[in-house]
Every structure is written in structure tokens, then in C-alpha cells.
Amino acid sequence: MSKLRPGMVTPLLAVVLAVGVTACGSGGSTGTGASSGATQPAEKIKLTVALFSDFHFAPLYEEFKKTHPNVEIVERRAQFNDHHKNLTTQLATGAGAADVEAVEAGYIATFTPLPDKFYNLNDYGLGKRQADYLDWKWKQGLSADGSKLLGLGTDVGGLAMCYRTDLFKKAGLPTDRAEVSQLWPTWEAYLEAGKKFIAAGVKGAKWFDGPGENFRAIVDQAPVGFYDDQNTLVAGTNPDVKKAFDLSAQMIQADESAKLAAFSPPWNTGLTKGSFATIICPSWKTGSIKDAAPTTSGKWDVAAVPGGGGGNQGGTHLMAPKQGKHPKEAAELIDLLTNKDTQLKLFTDAGALPSIPALYDDPTITGFTNPFFSDAPTGKIFTDAAKALKPQHVGPKAGDVLTTFGNALQRIEQGKQTPDESWAQALKDLERIK
């Protein structure tokens, strides 16, 4: 799940959550088929789960404990970029990785080329889950040769646009979601609608939070993004990337940005105060908005994304580093955290769009309306987006490339460089990404 989730640059958040230290069962069963004898308690086990935000897993840990009463689960969280950098360092040094690690879509190709660092989940029976998954989502979790299953998918990030109906009304813009969708058939039209919003002078409000998420969405909609299918870095020469950068720079120059880094404390405050009117909104972000700004219920709605739909932003795999001492239990926890019942529950609870396509026709999802978002039919909106999604190849350093461009846009926002100067520096910075 990308429950963050992917902000461009945000401050460190470190949270440790210990879930349910329980006494060992006296019957000797771990609930996994292993037995330590009729008179011996099961081995007491601690599993750590490393995430980059609240994935709403806590109730699922309690469910796991019903069949694994000897297991204590400790959850730790770090800010998105730090989480993935930490994992890179931990794998290199051989210490510090959790038993279960969440890896977001922008970084998954950084870790799947390292099969010797992760347990092969096929060895623990999870290969049977292949038929459940979107084909491209399953393949993202495989080793380069396809022989090892290194990560099992949680969610995907089909795109939409969330917007504040109260701010639209103040600006004299339509508030009906169908009419709002017609405002921006293209990203150029979105830019122009933003100019109208800014001209209306709504006090304290800009058009969007920050340019990084818009930039990423535009790139995600292209046939080719930062890498080609041969893992060649083409970000500096791909015209679709340059178009995304130029449009994002134009939005900055039109004073449409609130200059808030996604998922930072000021961003959370901005959600509550109404500091921006629109926000690029993959399914999981509806949960993020609700968590960060609960008092804004009913002020939001969901419209189509500019650019004709398609595109995937975010989505996560769960992986088990070999530093963990309990791979069997880690694999069983991963299985629980990604199964059909769980993915169904996490959509209705947290907005995480399943990566199991059979659920797209489940009435629980297709008929789901979200009261927080003015009863928007988010089940239909996001499953339609998922069905239209054309997956883009993700290269090994896609997360680092995204950060490079995010920093470039930030320099423009801060008035440190012109768009041309910042683009030129970004190209130089890309040369250091191997």
C-alpha cells in the first residue's frame, strides 16, 4: 500500500508501535502447522514490520495473533524517502532490516535485482497467489529472471483528482464532480482552470499543494517514464518527462502552488485549513486525507484526473529480508496482509485499491460510496481507473530520479533558479544516478 505516501521531500517521522505481547500458547501449536510438542510452549517470536506511513494494519496483527499466539509484532515507521534509503543501507551493511519491509512502486525495481538479500516467498507457498493478481503487479515482485518471488503486492494507485467543493464554490467554479471533470480534460486545461481559481482571490488558498505530485502523475500517464524496458535511464531525453516538467514549472509561475511537500506536517495543516483546492489523488490518498484532516469531512469530492485517465501512482509490495530470523512466520504474515479479505477491508477502511482484479467486480467495492468525499462513488471511480491503467516500466533508481526532479521544481518555487536553469541542473544530477 502507498499510504503515504510518496511525498517528494518530507521530514522524518519515526513511530514504533508494539502490538499485542501475549503469553505463549501451552498447546504447542503456532497455527502454522509447526509443533513443538504437547507439553512445550511455542517459541516466543518477535516480528518487526517497517512501513512508511499508517497502513491500517493494526487490526490485522490482532487477527494474526489468533493463530500465532506466540508472536509479538512491532511496527516501525519512517518518512517515505528515509524508509527506502534506510533499507538500502541496511541491506548493504547486513543489519537493521525488519522481518517485513514495505517497498513502494517507485523503489521496487531497486530491490528485486537483489534476490540474495530477500527470502524467496515461493519457498513458503506464496507462489500459489499468482492467479489472484494483476499480471504486471505480480511481475513487479519477481527477481529479474522471474524465478523468485521477492514481494507480494498490497495495492495499486489508479489516479483521480480530489478537490475542495467549498473552495470551488468561493471561486465561482462548478462543484458537481461531472462538471469539474470537464474543467480539465488535459493538464493544460488544469493549468488554465487554476489561473481562474487564483484570479478569484480565495483567501488563503492556492490551486494545489505542491508540484511534485502533479509532475509524477503526468509522467505516470506516459507510455514510457524515467526508464525504457531495457532499464536504460531516459528521463533526460524523454519528451514526456520534459513536458511534465515544463507544465509543472508553468503552474508554479502562475502562482498556483501552495508550496507544501506532501505528507509533511505543514501539508497536514494545509489540508485542514483549506490551503489548496485540488490534489492528485490515487485511491490510497483518500485514506491519507481522511487520516490527516478528519474535520474536513464532506468538504471534498473526487473528479477525473486530467490527461484522460490511466497512470499508476504508488502501490506497495511486502518483502522479507534475509536478515529476519523467522521467515516462515514473516511469509505467513505477508500472506494475511495481502489476501483478498484484507485487500477488500483496506479499500473500505483506508482507500487502498486492491491489486486483485477479481475484487473490482465485488459489490462491496463497486457499490462503495465515501461519505467523507461527499458520497463520491469511489469504488467505481477507482476501479474504472485501475481497469484503464497501462503499467509503465519502473527502473531501478526511479525513486531517486523522482527526488531529483522534485528538488528541481522546489528550486523554481523558491526562486533560486529559472525553469531552464533548474532543468539543466537536473540533467547534471541525473548523470550521478547509476
Same-domain check for residues 351 and 228: no
Structural domain range at position 81: 15-156+314-366
Model pLDDT for residues 264-281, shown as the tens digit of each residue: 899 999 999 999 999 999
- Domain tally, the chain: 2
Q: What is the pLDDT of residues 212-232, one digit of tens each?
A: 999 999 999 999 999 999 999
In sequence order, the β-bridge partners of residue 257 are 208
What pTM value is reported for the model?
0.86
Checking if the pLDDT of 90 tops 50, the result is yes
Checking if the pLDDT of 299 tops 70, the result is yes
Q: Identify the weakest region by mean pLDDT among 35-44, 58-67, 217-226, 269-278.
A: 35-44
> Residue 37, exposed/middle/buried by CB under 10 A (0-12, 13-18, 19+)?
exposed
* Same domain? 169 vs 297: yes
Residue 5 counted as domain residue: no
- On whether both 416 and 279 belong to a single domain, the answer is yes
Q: Report the CATH number at residue 331.
A: 3.40.190.10
Res. 27: pLDDT tops 80: no
Distance CA 283, CA 4 (A): 11
Query: How many other CB atoms sit within 10 Å of the CB of residue 77?
Result: 20
Beta strand ranges found along 203-311 (DSSP E) = 206-208, 276-280, 300-303
One domain for residues 190 and 250 = yes
More reliable by pLDDT, 228 or 35: 228
Do 41 and 72 lie in a common domain? yes
Helix residue spans in 102-186 (DSSP H): 108-111, 135-140, 165-170, 177-183
pLDDT of residue 233: 96
Q: Is residue 65 part of a domain?
A: yes
Q: What is the mean pLDDT of the chain?
A: 90
Check whether residue 109 and residue 221 sit in a common domain.
no
212 and 117 in a common domain: no
Confidence (pLDDT) at 5? 41
Q: What is the mean pLDDT of residues 3-14?
A: 38
Does the residue 169 lie in any domain? yes
- Rounded to an integer, the average pLDDT of 68-82 is 95
Band of residue 391 on the pLDDT scale cut at 50, 70, 90: confident
Domain annotation covers residue 9: no
The pLDDT score that the predictor gives to residue 317 is 98
**397 in the same domain as 263:** yes
